Chain A
């Protein structure tokens, strides 16, 4: 069982917005602004989409945004496009002896 909880799947139609949640505890998501989000297409390496809760690396579309409230972080994708269909993983620093934890991943389907 993953340390961070994500929904197994979400879906949306092209042009719509969706939000993926990532729930942890005060020892990880809630206690530090070190939440990242990764996109992974089948057979490919993960790609960093958001770091430090809400920062976008250069080259990542501004359709992707991140936020946090309490122990839950969220990734919002606006103006859904077919190429957004992928698995999305959140990660966070944690005070446990394993310093970085991931969520179980969310499969985004663009209908």
Chain B
């Protein structure tokens, strides 16, 4: 059974940092690109993606230069390092598995975690 479990969310002050983790199981982790998608308070927003090998990373303009995506394929874990956080980064953050198994494409995601809430407020 495919499972993704996010952790690391919480309350942080503007300008602060957080590191989100996503532990994956039930599939060949390194064969799939992975994404972070956030939701606040209603609509979905793609944040970042990483290829299966970890060699290619992609970011939305809204987080470029502040967020860093990475993965540890030996631990089947995806990360999102978030720096210089702003109030507008407040959202539920989901990790999502690309449905394509080439390791490159991430335009659709067939499994999502339950999400972790990030609140940026003083």
A residues neighboring B (CB under 8 Å): 2, 34, 36, 38, 45-48, 51-52, 57, 87, 89, 91-93, 97-102, 104-105
* A34 and B108 contact, CB distance less than 8 A: yes
Question: Which residues of B86-114 have CB atoms within 8 Å of chain A's CB atoms?
Answer: 94, 99, 106-110, 112-114
Q: Which of the residues A34, A47, A99, A104 comes within 8 Å of B46, measured between beta carbons? A: A99
Q: Is B44 an interface residue (CB 8 A)?
A: yes
* A102 and B44 contact, CB distance less than 8 A: yes
The 6 closest A-B pairs by CB, nearest first: A51-B108, A100-B46, A45-B112, A36-B108, A34-B107, A102-B44
* B99 and A102 contact, CB distance less than 8 A: no
Q: Is B43 an interface residue (CB 8 A)?
A: yes
* A101 and B107 contact, CB distance less than 8 A: no
Q: Contacts A51-B108, A105-B43 hold; do A100 and B49 have CB atoms under 8 A apart?
A: yes
Chain B residues within an 8 Å CB radius of A52: 107-108
B residues neighboring A (CB under 8 Å): 35, 37, 42-46, 49, 58, 60-62, 64, 94, 99, 106-110, 112-115
Chain B residues within an 8 Å CB radius of A34: 107-108
Closest CB-CB distance, B2 to chain A, in whole Å?
Answer: 12
Closest CB-CB distance, B10 to chain A, in whole Å?
Answer: 19
5 contacts across the A-B interface (CB closer than 8 A): A36-B109, A45-B94, A46-B94, A48-B99, A97-B61
Per the bound structure, the CA–CA distance linking A46 and B113 in Å amounts to 9
Chain B residues within an 8 Å CB radius of A87: 42
Q: Contacts A45-B94, A52-B108, A100-B106 hold; do A91 and B44 have CB atoms under 8 A apart?
A: yes
Per the bound structure, the CA–CA distance linking A52 and B110 in Å amounts to 12
Chain B residues within an 8 Å CB radius of A2: 43
Per the bound structure, the CA–CA distance linking A40 and B61 in Å amounts to 25
Closest CB-CB distance, B97 to chain A, in whole Å?
Answer: 10
* Given pairs A36-B108, A52-B108, A87-B42, 16 additional interface contacts (CB within 8 A): A34-B107, A38-B44, A45-B114, A46-B44, A46-B112, A48-B108, A51-B107, A91-B107, A91-B108, A92-B107, A97-B64, A99-B49, A100-B35, A102-B44, A104-B43, A105-B43
